[in-house]
Structure 1
Amino acid sequence: MEHIDDRSAPPGDAGAAGAASPVEAARSCLTSSAVCLMSPASVREQLGADEDGWARFAAHWDELGEDRYAAERGTRRLRRYGRFSLTPATGELVRLPHEPFIQPTDTNPLYETVDRHFEPLTDAFVADPLLRPLFDLLGQAAAVLDDAGRWIVKVHPFRVVATADDEGDPTPEGRHKDGVTLVSSLLVNRDNAVGGQSSVYTHDGRELLSTTLHRPGSLLLSDDRDSLHCVSPIRPMDMTQPAYRDVLVTTLTAA
């Protein structure tokens, strides 16, 4: 098992590939171990994100809606949801009609086969210049897992909030899978938070990687077909102020 703190780690497993490009290194990691941690520097370079661009992107997290399903289990989580179709051969990206989010059988023990209704992505979020290069990066990484003619891309911007009275639980369902090909978690921002350790396991319970995403731009990728994942709760460092953890979860499924 491997425990990584991304404040001090090199570009995760992906950094071990020497002269390989970040995408090539990520593909190698996914092939060999089903999981990969990409550094903020590598990710921002791939996205062409400067400080102003990242601040603009992060501001979308102030426009999320309440997740009433998480609230029923005592967690304040805000989110939106949207779907796209990405064709690797042509680069065509199409926004798909909004619909409820449904996870398939044998994936998420709390919510599988349940229609969950979330607010759609805002037009400003969809038009953000960082979103398309992120999809391209994920599509290139996922290509090592499946030679898909088309990817269904599902996009979930999340904010988990914790206070002195209530910890914030990003995954109240515990270890689970999403029923997709590739699952990714991009840390957008965190403020006043401790905890939030992301862990990836084999189906028989062996830990593949545990890491706390501290630095905005850190990107965790895993082969969802061969692994389970979860995130530990967050708590405030300063108990007089709320804690926030803003993450963009993006999944790709071969269509």
Structure 2
Amino acid sequence: MHTYHHIRLGKTSAKVKNSFDELLPDPWLKAEDGIFRFRSYMQARAGREKYFDLCAVGEFFQAEKLNNYAGGIARKYPEIKQDVAEEVMNLVFRKLLPLLPDTTYNIGIHQIRITTDDRRPGYPAPEGIHKDGFKYIAIYCSEIENVTGGETTLIPNHDGGNDASTFKLHAGDAVIFNDVNYQHYTAAVVPLLPGKGYRDVFVITFDIE
């Protein structure tokens, strides 16, 4: 897959939605930015031969040249609950893997809540326009509550943004793209109506084993 697919995966179960309420603050945010991201992580291995395995969670690392916000740090996050990870991986297996070349993948699952209120926006991508350093990336929206903004933009490597594609992901929507061929960015979220709001997503990374 050289480009991207903007698809409908379907909404997550109440169990998965509720699990976002239990996420802990991301300890790798800069102190001056406050707390706007809550996060957990899981690793998996999957192929098209009707299987997937959840793996022991290791560290998440990106080079500083890829992530100027938290790159160069071996980051540890709390583990995604197994039943939540299994539900997400079943969706990956049924609806995302068929869009990718037929091989075995090492997969990272990032469960992320971005929060906002009347005093501050929430930043899904505080590092700005970037690559994540994997072969493929999927962003799957679980729920949006009282927010506006949060559009995801894909920018092909070969131009300066003239052929950029922008998506508004609603609950149950996903975009999967070739991280080698695109840079990407997700805009800040702010409350739609006065009060608090949040954007819940799974970011799923794929590397060929």
TM-score normalized by the length of structure 2: 0.90
> What's the secondary structure of 1:184's corresponding residue?
strand
For residues 78-117 of structure 1, the aligned pairs below 5 Å read 78-88=38-48, 90-104=49-63, 106-117=65-76
Compared CA separation, residues 196 and 85, structure 1 to 2 (3 A):
same
Q: Which runs of 5+ in 1 are unaligned?
A: 1-29
Query: Which residue of the partner structure matches residue 140 of structure 1?
Result: 98
What do residues 213-252 of structure 1 show as CA deviations (whole Å, max 9, x unaligned)? 2x2111111110101111110001222x211000111111
Q: Does 2:168 align with 1:212?
A: yes
Contact 1:35–1:209, Cα closer than 8 Å, also in 2: no
Q: Which runs of 5+ in 2 are unaligned?
A: none
Q: CA deviation at 1:75?
A: 4.6
Q: Note the aligned Cα RMSD (angstroms).
A: 1.9
> What's the secondary structure of 2:128's corresponding residue?
coil
> What's the secondary structure of 2:29's corresponding residue?
helix
Query: Which residue of the partner structure matches residue 121 of structure 1?
Result: 80
TM-score normalized by the length of structure 1: 0.74
What do residues 145-164 of structure 1 show as CA deviations (whole Å, max 9, x unaligned)? xx53x200100011000011
CA distance in 2: counterparts of 1:131 and 1:61, whole angstroms = 17
Contact 2:114–2:199, Cα closer than 8 Å, also in 1: yes
More helix by share: 1
CA distance in 2: counterparts of 1:135 and 1:114, whole angstroms = 30
Contact 1:139–1:252, Cα closer than 8 Å, also in 2: no
What do residues 156-191 of structure 1 show as CA deviations (whole Å, max 9, x unaligned)? 011000011111000000011111111011111111
Contact 2:151–2:186, Cα closer than 8 Å, also in 1: yes
Query: Which residue of the partner structure matches residue 155 of structure 1?
Result: 109
CA distance in 2: counterparts of 1:93 and 1:105, whole angstroms = 31
Q: CA deviation at 1:134?
A: 2.4
Q: Does 2:34 align with 1:74?
A: yes
More strand by share: 2
Contact 1:75–1:166, Cα closer than 8 Å, also in 2: no
Q: CA deviation at 1:205?
A: 2.6
Selected match of 2:143 from 189, 212, 223: 189
CA distance in 2: counterparts of 1:56 and 1:123, whole angstroms = 12
> What's the secondary structure of 1:37's corresponding residue?
strand
When Rg is computed on C-alpha atoms for both structures, the one with the higher figure is: 1
What do residues 45-64 of structure 1 show as CA deviations (whole Å, max 9, x unaligned)? xxxx6xxx632322221121
Q: Does 2:11 align with 1:59?
A: no
Q: CA deviation at 1:71?
A: 5.0
Contact 2:145–2:198, Cα closer than 8 Å, also in 1: yes
Contact 2:109–2:202, Cα closer than 8 Å, also in 1: yes
Which stretches of structure 1, 4 residues or more, deviate above 6 A after TM superposition? none
> What's the secondary structure of 1:81's corresponding residue?
strand
Identity of aligned residues (%): 21
